[in-house]
Amino acid sequence: MSMVGNLRKVANLALRGRRRVDLSHPARSPLGSTVVNCVVYRDGVRRPGTASVEEAVRHARRHRDGFVWLGLHEPGAEEFAGVAELFGLHPLAVEDAVHAHQRPKIEQYDDVLFAVFKTVTYVEHAELTATSEVVDTGEIMVFTGPDFVVTVRHGRHGSLGPLREDLEAHPELLAKGPSAVLHAIADHVVDDYVSVADAVQSDLDQVESDVFSTHSPRTADAGRTYQLKRELLELKRAVAPLARPLDRLATEPRSCVDKEIQAYFRDVADHLARVIEQVNSFDALLDSILQAHLAQVTVAQNEDMRKITAWAAIIAVPTMVCGVYGMNFDHMPELRWTFGYPLVLGVIATVCFTLHRNFKRNGWL
């Protein structure tokens, strides 16, 4: 049986009776180093640490005013199977949580809300080049149930440690239950979108300045512009798909989301809408910059062609005259005349000077 099949089998068994999961024995698959943190909260206050995830769940379900927050980092299928069984997670959501590169979304399976957020970070670089990495992405999957929050993080960034500390400093929010954690994560992710968009703005301003520089308009590298557009597309893929699910979360009543917390999601949705508008404006501006750069290259090529044509016309005059006198005919006008040679040179110089002056006046040279 395939790994995905094992996941579905385990999760389906858990779904048949999530409330009646036997906690008398440990989960089947050890989590090991994938556990970042496992904390029990009661009335918004963090309780002393427990020996295992099963013990934390048992402690939280013993008291109706508590919940467990389990944080994992890139768990494998076998490792996550125990969590799926323990919390009764839907097999489709389990499959998405184990395998990264999911589209941002928010889905509900019975009384469990499953959310996928794309995390982004700005990659510092001294100078934007045709191969510079500007935006790095990761993922955070969040399972929100009546008495638990399970976060699964993929990627090198997006740590939730500082967020957990901020929430613990506001127990009145944590007292609202798991939905408060979901809101805090969504708000944290969207705030990162704002920060990254502002940082990308600096790179965009630099590219725009180089393209429209009057001192060296041809030094702008189209490769940098294309690279920035590709990185901006990665940011757009993380930001844009989240708009509709977050809007639904802010407007549609859900049993697993506290009504007071739901009002806060509207603010997050507004911030996300502003970021989406900003990213779309960046994309449109980059298109304009690319078109302007290509137009500048075309104009520069036309100027080069005009210069080449002008010099070719000037050189054609002595070439033509010298070609005629190089035919070595016996009877040619002024061939044996004393002033014939200086006269021909004078005519050539006069015609070349006149052509050069006219080309210079018309801007060809």
Asked, for residue 322, whether it belongs to a domain, the answer is yes
Backbone angles phi, psi at 163, to 5 degrees: -65, -40
User: How much is the pLDDT for 50?
Assistant: 62
> Is the pLDDT higher at 15 or at 248?
248
Asked, for residue 281, whether it belongs to a domain, the answer is no
pLDDT greater than 70 at residue 20 = no
| Share above pLDDT 70 across residues of the chain, in percent, rounded to a whole number | 86
pLDDT greater than 70 at residue 195 = yes
* Domain encompassing residue 352: 304-361
Asked, for residue 225, whether it belongs to a domain, the answer is no
Burial of 117 (0-12, 13-18, 19+ CB in 10 A): buried
Residue 138, strand partner residues: 119
User: How much is the pLDDT for 187?
Assistant: 94
Q: How far is CA 111 from CA 31, 123, 144, 145, in A?
A: 25, 38, 8, 6
Q: How far is CA 304 from CA 206, 290, 310, in A?
A: 27, 21, 10
pLDDT greater than 60 at residue 30 = no
Q: How far apart are CA 355 and CA 353, in angstroms?
A: 5
Lowest mean pLDDT among 104-113, 146-155, 276-285, 329-338: 329-338
Axis crossing angle, helix 259-325 with helix 222-239, rounded to the nearest 10: 160
> Is the pLDDT higher at 200 or at 324?
200
Q: Residue 353's domain is classified under what CATH number?
A: 1.20.58
Number of domains, the chain: 1
Lowest mean pLDDT among 91-105, 106-120, 266-280, 286-300: 286-300
Lowest mean pLDDT among 19-33, 220-234, 316-330: 19-33
Asked, for residue 143, whether it belongs to a domain, the answer is no
pLDDT greater than 80 at residue 233 = yes
Q: How far apart are CA 226 and CA 291, in angstroms?
A: 12
Q: How far is CA 323 from CA 90, 320, 344, in A?
A: 90, 5, 12
Provide the residue count of the chain. 365
> Is the pLDDT higher at 271 or at 62?
271
User: How much is the pLDDT for 250?
Assistant: 86
Lowest mean pLDDT among 100-109, 265-274, 291-300: 291-300
Q: How far apart are CA 161 and CA 71, in angstroms?
A: 9
User: How much is the pLDDT for 190?
Assistant: 95
Q: How far apart are CA 127 and CA 13, in angstroms?
A: 54
In order, the DSSP letters of 142-178 are EEE-SSEEEEEEESSS---HHHHHHHHT-HHHHTT-H
Backbone angles phi, psi at 120, to 5 degrees: -135, 150
pLDDT greater than 80 at residue 220 = no
The string of pLDDT tens digits covering residues 122-180 is 998 888 888 888 999 999 999 999 889 999 999 888 788 899 999 999 899 888 889 99
Can you state the percent helix, strand and coil of the chain, rounding each to 5?
60, 15, 30
Asked, for residue 31, whether it belongs to a domain, the answer is no
Q: Please report which confidence band the pLDDT of residue 189 belongs to, taking 50, 70 and 90 as the band edges.
A: very high
Q: How far is CA 172 from CA 61, 154, 165, 166, 181, in A?
A: 20, 29, 14, 12, 12
Check: CB of residue 177 under 8 Å from CB of residue 67. yes
Average pLDDT over residues 19-36: 50
Q: How far apart are CA 74 and CA 274, in angstroms?
A: 31
- Of all helices (H) and strands (E), which one includes residue 112? strand 112-122
Q: How far apart are CA 140 and CA 73, in angstroms?
A: 9
Asked, for residue 196, whether it belongs to a domain, the answer is no
- Of all helices (H) and strands (E), which one includes residue 121? strand 112-122
Place of tokens 């805090």: 184
Q: Please report which confidence band the pLDDT of residue 59 belongs to, taking 50, 70 and 90 as the band edges.
A: confident
Asked, for residue 217, whether it belongs to a domain, the answer is no
Q: Name, in order, each residue with C-beta under 8 angstroms of 12's C-beta and a sequence gap of 6 or more.
A: 91
pLDDT greater than 50 at residue 308 = yes
| Share above pLDDT 90 across residues of the chain, in percent, rounded to a whole number | 28
Lowest mean pLDDT among 29-33, 300-304, 355-359: 29-33
Backbone angles phi, psi at 108, to 5 degrees: -120, 130
Q: Please report which confidence band the pLDDT of residue 27 belongs to, taking 50, 70 and 90 as the band edges.
A: very low
Asked, for residue 331, whether it belongs to a domain, the answer is yes
Mean model confidence pLDDT for the chain: 82
Lowest mean pLDDT among 12-16, 91-95, 290-294, 303-307: 12-16
Average pLDDT over residues 56-75: 85
